[in-house]
Amino acid sequence: MKIVITGATGFLGGRLLERLSEDGPANVELIAVGRTLKPGNVIEQDCVRYELGNLEDASFVHDVLRGADKVVHAAALSAQMGPPGAFERANVTVTQNVVKACLQHGIERLVLISSPSVYFQLKDLPNLQESDPLPPPINVYARTKREAEQVVQDSGVPHVILRPRALIGRGDTVILPRVIRAHQEGRLRRMGTGQNKVDLTPVSNVVDAIVLSLDAKGDALNQVYNISNGAPIPLWPLLDDVFDRLGFEPVNKHISMHVAKWIARTLEWHAKWLNGHKEPALTVYGIGTLTKTFAMDISKARNLLGYEPRQSVQEALEEFLHWHNPSRS
């Protein structure tokens, strides 16, 4: 069996490649697609072959997928702001290229890694379900991820679409490091009630969901699934614990929601019109992440995919802290 993984040099793609190279099907051939290889991040197994190139090049995608049986499309441009054209090329055009190649080569399964950002609203969202109507997109990333989903859904390629929430664990360079960096630089403020709960998802559990999706059959196919631990936790106590474990002072400065939203919208306007869409220090999406409950119902994934979270958030947090700063963990 030949499986192509796009975004294989990233956090999720790399962990999936690691899992399949160790515990995948017998005689599996893994094609790891990425732009660059990071030193120390290469899996040296006979079953793994790296293909470096630009997925915006349709001919490259066509060549990479030749002879494949299944594809996991995890490559994406993920940020809260940026040039719209860059997101459209990376998230929509690339998905179109992947779908076209899947059709040309008769790929039997496509797993698309999407995003729960398609649900985002600046309010508490305690029980999000896949059937919920989607609001207007909060940013270009959410818009292009929804468009990518539509490309796959309209393609006729047998598929599974996953919306995994806030991945953490060894190798995370985005979720927790972003908050840690903001605190180190003195930019983090407490806001809201401090009672909001969030879904965090160990990356190993998302890998489980992908493996299940690769073998999905019958009613489990051609579906969208929320993926998390299904156990939202209070955000600020968790952050306080992380900061304490790393030897940082607690976040003591506060800012009102009204002022924070005014600052964020001003910064976003400036970034959009005067600063080349460069992501500002504070965004409306960021405010929502820090102040509002965001939790997803994963019963559909449990019932149809057989997904069950195996690693706890606390275990993934320990894994991250040991990797991020071994001397303090």
**50 within 8 A of 88, measured Cβ to Cβ:** no
**pLDDT for the residue 164:** 99
CA 329 to chain centre: 25
**pLDDT for the residue 101:** 98
pTM, 2 dp: 0.95
Question: Rounded distance, CA 203 to CA 165, Å?
Answer: 10
Question: Rounded distance, CA 176 to CA 248, Å?
Answer: 14
**197 within 8 A of 232, measured Cβ to Cβ:** yes
Question: Rounded distance, CA 267 to CA 275, Å?
Answer: 10
Question: Rounded distance, CA 8 to CA 33, Å?
Answer: 6
**305 within 8 A of 216, measured Cβ to Cβ:** yes
Question: Rounded distance, CA 78 to CA 100, Å?
Answer: 23
Residues 6+ apart with CB under 8 A from 290: 191, 192, 196, 235
Helices in 69-224 by DSSP H: which ranges?
Answer: 84-87, 94-105, 140-153, 175-184, 203-214
Q: What are the 10-residue block averages of pLDDT along the chain, 329 residues in total?
A: 96 96 86 83 87 97 98 95 94 99 98 98 97 96 98 98 97 92 93 92 98 97 98 95 93 92 91 80 91 98 98 96 78
Question: Rounded distance, CA 312 to CA 182, Å?
Answer: 25
**pLDDT for the residue 39:** 61
CATH number for the 2-168+202-229+296-313 domain, one of 3.30.450.40, 2.40.110.10, 3.30.460.10, 3.40.50.720? 3.40.50.720
CA 133 to chain centre: 21
Q: The tokens of 287 are what?
A: 């405010």
**pLDDT for the residue 271:** 85
Long-range contacts of residues 217-224, Cβ cutoff 8 Å, at least 24 apart: 219/304, 220/160, 220/304, 220/305, 221/158, 221/159, 221/160, 222/153, 222/158, 222/159, 222/160, 223/130, 223/160, 223/161, 223/300, 223/304, 224/114, 224/130, 224/149, 224/161, 224/162, 224/163
